Amino acid sequence: MRQIFFDTETTGLEADKGDRVIEVGCVEMVNRQLTGNHLHLYINPERASHEDALRVHGLTEAFLSDKPKFAEIVDQLLAFLAGAELVIHNASFDIGFINAELKRLKRGVLTDHVGGVRDTLLMARDLFPGKANSLDALCRRLEVDNTKRVLHGALLDAELLADVYIRLTRGQDALLMDEHGDNASGDSHAAIEAVDLCRFVLPVLHASEAEAAAHEKLLADLDKAAGGACKWRVLEPAQPMA
């Protein structure tokens, strides 16, 4: 599967009111391994950024003044994204801005050109309900090093998102392909030696009387707080009659 981790920076928050894309970062992953291919573009938005946005990304009007306009990079961008699944954090924001740019050029919408879209913000909300799920928050929670992220940058954020995604989906620790591809040995059906687990004697640790009593008290307190509605009390086996 070919996936592109995708991020943008913009002049503001409202694509429908004239805010524009000023930076695009794309990082390619194939079969859950980074390939080293990426696309990074700065774009002249033909307008200034809002002050709040400028504080986030630091891309000034002067810096962007000699960069290509979106119409000049659209073919390059769509060719890189073609057929891939896009992985985006808060996908509706980035897709809304790219769609607004494509609409100006009568080039359809982004989903006409890609294989699908996966939103890691929605994934994180399912996994961590009620918690902060910004990219920075996920980096902290999942132990992804984001110490270089002083200002937001589309390419750096896409690279961080790739690492976050792997950890969100519990896939693997290593992201980069080695020079031999997926399997360094070249043998995808290497024999695995069977282990006889019967020879292992596993220790069984029993709770002491004091620990068992403390546990029962905790359960009783929880049951009382729940008004007698705790399911484990219902499922407890009946005590034998004397």
Residues carrying an active site annotation? 152
Strands 85-88 and 116-119, how do they pair? parallel
Instruction: Specify the DSSP element, H or E, that contains 5.
Output: strand 2-10
Residue 11 identity (one-letter amino acid): T
Using CB atoms within 10 A of its CB, is residue 34 exposed (0-12), middle (13-18) or buried (19+)?
Answer: buried
Are the C-beta atoms of 167 and 18 separated by less than 8 Å? no
Rounded CA separation 160/135 (Å)? 8
Beta-strand relationship, 21-30 and 2-10? antiparallel
206 burial (CB, 10 Å; 0-12 / 13-18 / 19+) is: exposed
How large is the C-alpha radius of gyration of the chain? 26
Token reading at 145: 């090093």
Q: How far apart are CA 153 and CA 187, in angstroms?
A: 40
